[in-house]
Amino acid sequence: MATELEQLRTLLGEISDLGRARALLAWDERTQMPPAGAEMRAEQVATLARIRHERLISDELGRLIDAAGAETESLPYESDAASIVRVARRWWEKARRVPAELRAEITRSSSLAEHAWVDARANSDFAAFLPHLRRNVELRRRYAACFEGFDGFEHEFDPLLDDFEPGMTTPEMVAILGELRDGLRPLILAIGRGGQTVDDSCLHGSFPIVVQETFARELVADLPLQEGAWRLDGTVHPFAAAISPADLRITTRFDPCYIGAAVWSVIHEAGHALYESGVPRELWRSPLASPSSLGFHESQSRLWENWVGRSRPYLEHLLPRLRELFPDRLGTVDADTLYRAANKIEPSLIRVEADQVTYNLHIALRFELELEIFDGRLELADLPEAWNARMEEYLALEVPDDAQGVLQDVHWGAGMFGYFPTYSLGNVIAGQLWDRITSEVPDLEERIGRGDFVGLRDWLRENLHRHGNKFMPKELMERVVGGPIDVAPYVSQLRQRAAEIYGVPLNGTSQFRG
């Protein structure tokens, strides 16, 4: 007879399998599926999601959690068994709060809104999108209201944040992103005032796709992701999916006229995959197997993309092969030119194309607007105006139309509020990790310059990846860096790099410390 803990593990294993199967259907839809398959694919995905959810809110799961909780009471907090029960209980309690009809309505409405968004963006027609946006906000308010009195939630926006960044409160996120914004604005101003421009023309021109593919695969294998445990495909909007920790699907959008996507976007997605692959075997099929905080997940993709991938030693390591594969564009480029091109900082309209510094202003703007909407300070009809004003204020850019402004991202159309801030949070966490790593991994730069990433990967695995989803993000921060979220290291690192490239003075850090 199986113990209740074993029965709990079995049921959670099924829930995991259903989620992973759904991830495969989604990956396939975006990379392989013949277009005519879309309608039935939607039904298949919905069925898997519904069945998974039925199990997640089942009385049976609640009963097993209680029984297994009693079984594991005396085990250490960080033991696998106690952690599985703890994480499963939080999932169950959150899932049970939301009535099935509301959940179904959210799914239905956000699907409609996303389709409406596609058209609205194509026509730069915010008015056509507005009623859908209104409905999404209204439903998300009702969703948040389900969590009245839930442990740790105080602000109305907390439940929305929590779905992406468990345990993060709205005031905390406001403080972090505010400090980041205030730390970076002077840097961006200083770069602008300096009048120096960086020539990144070596990254543009003709780069045959098939060669880019070869190069991108070499690059991932080099990091290294485990051989035989990943693949790389083309798609429209790059993402990484873990069909299991040993079956990682990286995607990118190869651009025949720009080599950057095949380098930094690929490293970014490989960073996500490295995180998923670092979860120990004994946690697979459990709720601990997938790191659930988007901030931590993004910290890994950003760390590999920006701290490793845009660093001088790494680019020196890549350069010979880049020259060999793309002789026309890069045959004579030197390391300094490549390094400068990879780290160009220049305000631009579109978030997904933004550089590593101004990117965070795009995020700050979105999060501020989200909060103002949910706080009732901003009318949805006034959103484009507010957006454009803040783009002018933060990046000194005029927004020519809503397609390049408020309509550029899918998130609000898909009903995802509280998602954006995790992108910048990932940067901040990566900055803290990097400080720690450089002090603990000997010869880090030299090793990266030799293409030896084992020390770095092992540090991440040992200190972060092996925990999977065992801890809440705040607990994890304490364990990994020995303190809470801190914006300073990230801002300081960006200033350091800007100083190198743009000759901006390094002083004045005090103005952005909290």
User: Look-up: residue for tokens 């101003």?
Assistant: 189
Task: Please say if 148 is a catalytic residue.
Answer: no
Window of 28-36, 315-323, 350-358, 491-499 that interacts with a copy of itself by CB under 8 A: 28-36
Among 7, 26, 33, 62, binds a copy of itself (CB under 8 A): 33
CB of 32 to a copy of itself, least distance (A): 7
Listed in sequence order, the residues at least 6 apart from 444 whose beta carbon sits closer than 8 Å to its beta carbon are 437, 438, 455, 456
Check residue 40 for interaction with a copy of itself (CB under 8 A). Answer: yes
Report how far residue 42's alpha carbon sits from residue 86's, in angstroms, rounded to the nearest whole number. Answer: 33
CB of 36 to a copy of itself, least distance (A): 4
Check residue 285 for interaction with a copy of itself (CB under 8 A). Answer: yes
Window of 32-40, 132-140, 295-303, 375-383 that interacts with a copy of itself by CB under 8 A: 32-40
Token output for 449: 């310059």
User: Which secondary-structure segment (H or E) carries 250?
Assistant: strand 247-252
Which residues 221-280 are close enough to bind a copy of itself by CB under 8 A? 226, 228-231, 243-248
Check residue 162 for interaction with a copy of itself (CB under 8 A). Answer: no
CB-nearer residue toward a copy of itself: 323 or 461: 461
Check residue 34 for interaction with a copy of itself (CB under 8 A). Answer: yes
CB-nearer residue toward a copy of itself: 22 or 132: 22
Check residue 32 for interaction with a copy of itself (CB under 8 A). Answer: yes
Q: Is 124 left (phi over 0), alpha (psi -120 to 50) or beta?
A: left
Q: Which one from 165, 172, 179, 269 is the annotated catalytic residue? A: 269
Please give the torsion angle defined by the CA atoms of residues 396, 401, 404 and 410, in that order, rounded to the nearest 10 degrees. 130
Report how far residue 372's alpha carbon sits from residue 491's, in angstroms, rounded to the nearest whole number. Answer: 26
CB of 283 to a copy of itself, least distance (A): 12
CB-nearer residue toward a copy of itself: 49 or 102: 49
Q: How far is CA 470 from CA 68, 251, 411, 479, in A?
A: 16, 27, 28, 12
CB-nearer residue toward a copy of itself: 93 or 222: 222
In DSSP terms, which residues pair with 250 in a beta bridge? 232, 240
Contact 307, 497 (CB under 8 A): no
Length of the chain: 514
Token output for 234: 């083309």
Check residue 37 for interaction with a copy of itself (CB under 8 A). Answer: yes
Q: How far is CA 285 from CA 12, 75, 121, 222, 280, in A?
A: 7, 21, 39, 28, 11
CB of 91 to a copy of itself, least distance (A): 18
CB of 228 to a copy of itself, least distance (A): 5
Check residue 41 for interaction with a copy of itself (CB under 8 A). Answer: yes
Check residue 25 for interaction with a copy of itself (CB under 8 A). Answer: yes
Query: Hey, which bits of 93-245 come out as E strands?
Result: 230-234, 240-244
Backbone phi and psi for residue 235, each to the nearest 5 degrees, phi listed first = -155, 180
Contact 128, 116 (CB under 8 A): yes
Q: With CB under 8 A, what is the number of residues at the site for a copy of itself?
A: 38
- For residues 49 to 78, the per-residue mask of contacts with a copy of itself, x marking binding by CB under 8 A and - elsewhere, is -xx---------------------------
Contact 407, 117 (CB under 8 A): yes
Check residue 47 for interaction with a copy of itself (CB under 8 A). Answer: yes
CB-nearer residue toward a copy of itself: 28 or 163: 28
Token output for 329: 């564009």
Check residue 48 for interaction with a copy of itself (CB under 8 A). Answer: yes
CB of 235 to a copy of itself, least distance (A): 14
Contact 136, 413 (CB under 8 A): yes
CB of 61 to a copy of itself, least distance (A): 15
Listed in sequence order, the residues at least 6 apart from 359 whose beta carbon sits closer than 8 Å to its beta carbon are 351, 423, 424, 427
Report how far residue 2's alpha carbon sits from residue 21's, in angstroms, rounded to the nearest whole number. Answer: 26
CB of 16 to a copy of itself, least distance (A): 9
Among 5, 8, 12, 18, binds a copy of itself (CB under 8 A): 18
CB-nearer residue toward a copy of itself: 40 or 396: 40
- How many Cα atoms are found within 13 Å in the side-chain-facing hemisphere of 341? 20
Among 43, 59, 101, 151, binds a copy of itself (CB under 8 A): 43
Token output for 272: 């996500």
CB of 233 to a copy of itself, least distance (A): 9
Footprint of a copy of itself (CB under 8 A)? 13-14, 17-18, 20-21, 24-25, 28, 32-37, 39-41, 43-44, 46-48, 50-51, 226, 228-231, 243-248, 284-285
Enzyme catalytic residues:
269
